[in-house]
Each structure stands twice: as structure tokens, then as C-alpha cells.
Amino acid sequence: MKTRRDFLTQAPLGLLGAMVAGSALAQTGANPAPGTPPPGSPGAFDTAPPVGPKLSTATFVEAEKLAQVSMTQAQREMAVANWPTSMAALLERRTGPRKVALEDGLAPATTWFPAMGRAHVGPAHDRFVPSKVAATPLPAKDEDIAFASVAQLGAWIRARKLTSSRLTKIYLERLKRFDPQLRCVITLCEEHALAQAAQADKEIAAGHYRGPLHGIPWGAKDLLDTAGIATTYGAEPFRHRVPKDDGAVTRKLNEAGAVLVAKLSLGALALNDIWFGGQTMNPWLLQEGASGSSAGPASATAAGLVAFAIGSETQGSIISPCMRCGTTGLRPTYGRVPRTGAMTLCWTMDKLGPIARSVEDTLLVLNAVRGTDPGDGASVAAHLDYDAAASIKGLKVGYFPGWMKDATATDLDRAALDQLRALGLVPTEVSLPDWPYDDLNLLLFAEAAAAFEELTLSGAADQLPMQTPDAWPNLFREARFLSAVDFVQADRLRRKVAKEMERVMTEVDLLLVPSLRDEMMVISNMCGQPSLTLRTGFVEVSQVRSDWAPDPKHPLPKLAKPHRVPYGVTLIGRLFEEGTLGRVGRALEAKVAVAGERPVGF
């Protein structure tokens, strides 16, 4: 490939001499050489020195198949002659000679704001009033303590019926005992955790109580930076990566007095549930994966190995593992929680959020980690309005009638709608246009391929454990051939879809949807709405489930007999109205009364 520098160093001496002579003439004011534009002439496209590989009309015939466009033979001939002087030079940032490295953490200049220019979005007031939890007698069994809610653990610690050190040791012991079955731990932070717990106990004994997370052990999805502790992204090329600084969420939880006990697994580079240590498993059905990519946070929380965890979602990575493992996941509004110091997959979609065993626990954690950070230009200081005692009667819950009737929904989805009606909500039919919403995933694949460009071009992506057609290495490579024009058009479609969601959400206060409905997974993540996924019952499965595309050569195993596993629904809220989701979710959780059941053997 010839670069501009090659052109200048290899050009005929006669041409270089003419260039020098032309420069001298310009300085003396003499007539310029033939072909030299007169003084004051503007620049023009298609005048750069030729660079790039040799092309033929056949090159464009094949490229047209990928882009699904068509040119005439004359247009192809023009492109062959023109491309080296018009388009090829636009790749200089990557191909040289003036290469520019784009460092980790450098976000694109364009930032997505779901509010789309509206000045006032979300609650008018900042209010956080959780339910009052009494410091009941401490259970005799450690496992009963381990499965208690964050709110209950906080009440015991505040009343000094339980120390953070004892609680931390309970979770550390359980992490060591059950991780061989679940493969949910990448790094056990034992020494770090015991030191944090001892500090929490010292502060609480001195009367300095920081709040409901003080002394509470938690686990971090291993894409969240922790100073001096490995953060591996679950991917072999980053296995020995040790950040110098804490991520924003880590720092906020440190300030809240929480105790980090483990870095938990994620599918490599935040896809599904297979990482360099194997597959993270579902504690309710050990023959199947925990789903992903927040596999470790959901699996560990479901098994009572941590009080709560921080997961992340780009498109389904909190919802799906919470469905599989029966945990409660709160995916905040895009921008609600700062992502500084967290692995980037997709700048305009990534969100960090809590995974716990009850609805209110997720709100307690959200309240601690929300806010802005200078490192995340998309983070906003929006109000959070949550009052556990506020009435939910009269709220309109939207639903899509067709979705409730087809195969993606179960009787539990339909029952949840009836239960919300019984709680005083008003079920309201809503609709969206029949558009190709999956086209928006062009944005996801392009951003993800950009985030891991060096990993792909260097060949290091070949070290990832999964090399199937639907795994990142192949998708990153294929994304190089997406059109920049189509990227912009998909971005325009995104705004059009966001306006439709804005219309729907003015008709209702929240939505109830089958959790894994593809359209809403894409739409709500692309448009930034918050979601709350919670267990509402159980179903029976006769076959192991998987996040990966079906492979006829390796069919998923059948179970000897049907197995009972958790099932949940998802509530979608208005932008920054997680408080409404929390109030409705907490009422639904109490009505169905299934959140307390534990996986057998843990």
C-alpha cells in the first residue's frame, strides 16, 4: 500500500523539481508553472496523492454485494480510478503515515442524550424514602444471614447485631465453597475485603454510620476498574490487566462503606457467559449457563455468595441473567450512573446497574451509585424520586396485546398483568409501528468493533475462548465492512424510534413486557429507558437453555425430567423514573411472594 509519504519519496525527480520551482516562483511573484492553481484558489476533493491497494472493477462488484448497492460498469471504472485519490486517504489515521492511537477511555465526540434536547425530564423532586426494616433477631444459620436482603443486613449492622467482618467472612467462605460449581469468581478479594470490613466496623462503633450499604459485601462484574486489583473483562488478552484507579461506581460504593469481596465473571468482553475460566453456571440448574453477560453477578447473587452485585447492560446483559438465575436487576436510565473506569463496549448504550435478591435492594444501591462524573460526558444529575409508601393506585401500565399472546410470553406474563390490575393499576393497550428495529444494531456492532479495533486488527481477539460465527471476534471483523452512511442512517432511525417511545410513555406510566422480547430489548436499550426485571414465579424446562446461536451439530442437552426454574417479568419506565418502577415492582414482588425461595443446595 502506498502512502502519501511513499508518494513524496518515490515521485519522479522531475515532478519534485517542478514542485520546488513552483514554490520559488510563488515567493518571487513570477508566473506559476503550468497546472499550478493561481493564488487564492480553494482546495478541492479528489486532489490528494494516490494511496492504497491496487483496485479493479471486480473489487467493487464484490463490495457491492456486502453493501447491497449497485453501480454501472462506467461508475465502477470511475471509482477504480478515483478511490486512491478520494477515499483511500481517509484511512490514514489507521494505515499511516500519520497514525494516531485512540487511547482507552476516549469517547466519540458525539454523545447520545435520550431526552433529545428536552430540558426537564424525570421527577421534579429528589426524594429517597425506603421502607423501614426492623433489626429482627439474627438467624442462627450463616446461610440464612447470607440470603437476607441488603436492607435487612443493613438493619442488623446498624443495630450492631452483626458486624461487617462476620458478614464478610460468611460470604468469603461461601464464595470459596460454591465457586467450583458455578465458576462465577474471577478474582477473590479476600485481604482487601477483610480490611474494608474492619474499617467499617471501626467507623460504626465510633458512631460514624455512612448509610444502608455500610459494611455490606458486594461483587463487581469484572469490567469495573478496581485500583490494584485485576480487572480482566473476562477475556484472555486482558487477564493480567491491573488498573491504577477505581472506576466511578467502585469509588461511590467505597464512599458508601460497602465491602468488595469478589470480581465476578462476565462472558468475554461482555457477551454471554463463557470466559477464560470456563462457563458460569445457573445455581437453579447446574447443567446450563447463567446467561450473560452479567453472568457472575447474577449467579453469585442468586446463590447467596454476595449481598448484591453490579452488572452492566448494553442489550440484555442484566435482564437475561436475572431471568435465568431468578435475581432482580435494575437497568438504570442511560446516563443515570457514570461509567468512568468501566469497559466500553458501546458508548451510546452501556449502562451499569445493581443486581440483588429484592426490588428495594436495587433502589438502595442505585441511590448510592447515581450521579455524574467528569470522565463520562453522558452522565447526568437527574433527580431520583422513590418513596416506598407512596400509592401506586391509578398508575397506567402499558402492554402490547400481541406480545402477550404469542410464544415469547407465558401464563406468568399474563398473570402479572392481572396482578397489577388487582393492585390498582390500570392496564392500557399500547402499540408501536412495525419497523425493522433490529437495524439499529448496526450502531451496536460498529461501536463495539471500534472499541476493540486494536484487539481485532492485531489478531489478539483470536485468544478469546469462543470463536463461533456469533461470537465477538467474527462480529468485530464483519463490522469493519458496515457502511458509514448506513451508520448515520441508523442513527437517524434511532431518533425516530426514540420519538415513538416518547409518545408511548406519555400515554402510560410504565410498561409490562415479556422480559426477553427482542424488539423491546433493542428499543428500550437504544432509547435509554430504565427497566426492572423481577421473579414472579416458576416454569418447567425440559432442555438446557443457551445464549448462543443454535448449532445443529451440537444440540443442547435434554433433561432427564422437567426441571423447575425461576421466571420473571420486566417493567419499563419513563426516562429517569426508576422510582416508579421500584414502587410498582415492590408491590408486585410482595403480591406474588416468590422472591424468598432459594436454589436447592446453596
Task: Tell me if 230 sits within 8 A of 242, measured CB to CB.
Answer: yes
Task: Tell me if 171 sits within 8 A of 162, measured CB to CB.
Answer: no
CA pseudo-torsion sign 244, 250, 252, 256? negative
Three-class secondary structure of residue 590 per DSSP = helix
Instruction: Give the neighbor-by-neighbor strand order of the sheet with 426-429.
Output: 185-188, 259-264, 217-221, 308-313, 351-356, 328-331, 531-543, 558-573, 510-513, 396-399, 426-429
Q: Which of 294, 317, 379, 524 is catalytic?
A: 317
Is 221 in the active site? yes
Residue with cell 470522565: 375
Encoded amino acid at 197, one letter: A
Task: Tell me if 246 sits within 8 A of 226, measured CB to CB.
Answer: yes
Q: Which residues pair with 511 in a beta bridge?
A: 398, 572
Return the C-alpha cell found at 69. 448497492
Q: Where are the beta strands (DSSP E) in 239-344?
A: 259-264, 274-275, 278-279, 281-282, 285-289, 308-313, 328-331
Q: Which residues of 327-339 are buried (b: 16+ CB within 10 A; e: fewer)?
A: bbbbbbbbbbbbb
Q: What is the CA radius of gyration of the chain?
A: 28
Task: Tell me if 291 sits within 8 A of 251, measured CB to CB.
Answer: no
Q: Which residues pair with 512 in a beta bridge?
A: 571
Return the C-alpha cell found at 154. 443493613
Q: Which residues pair with 398 in a beta bridge?
A: 428, 511
CA 452 to chain centre: 15
Q: Which of 164, 293, 299, 358 is catalytic?
A: 293
Which residues lie closer than 8 Å to 132 by C-beta, 6 or more apart? none
Encoded amino acid at 595, one letter: A
The span from the CA of 31 to the CA of 22, in Å, is 9
Three-class secondary structure of residue 186 per DSSP = strand
Is 317 in the active site? yes
Task: Tell me if 55 sits within 8 A of 83, measured CB to CB.
Answer: yes
Residue with cell 460470604: 171
Query: 578-592 vs 359-369: helix axis angle to the nearest 10?
Result: 160
Three-class secondary structure of residue 538 per DSSP = strand
The span from the CA of 221 to the CA of 412, in Å, is 29
The span from the CA of 92 to the CA of 51, in Å, is 9
Task: Tell me if 569 sits within 8 A of 515, measured CB to CB.
Answer: yes
Count of C-beta atoms within a 10 Å radius of residue 71: 15
Is 244 in the active site? no
Q: Which of 221, 252, 263, 351 is catalytic?
A: 221
The span from the CA of 188 to the CA of 175, in Å, is 8
Which positions are catalytic?
221, 293, 317
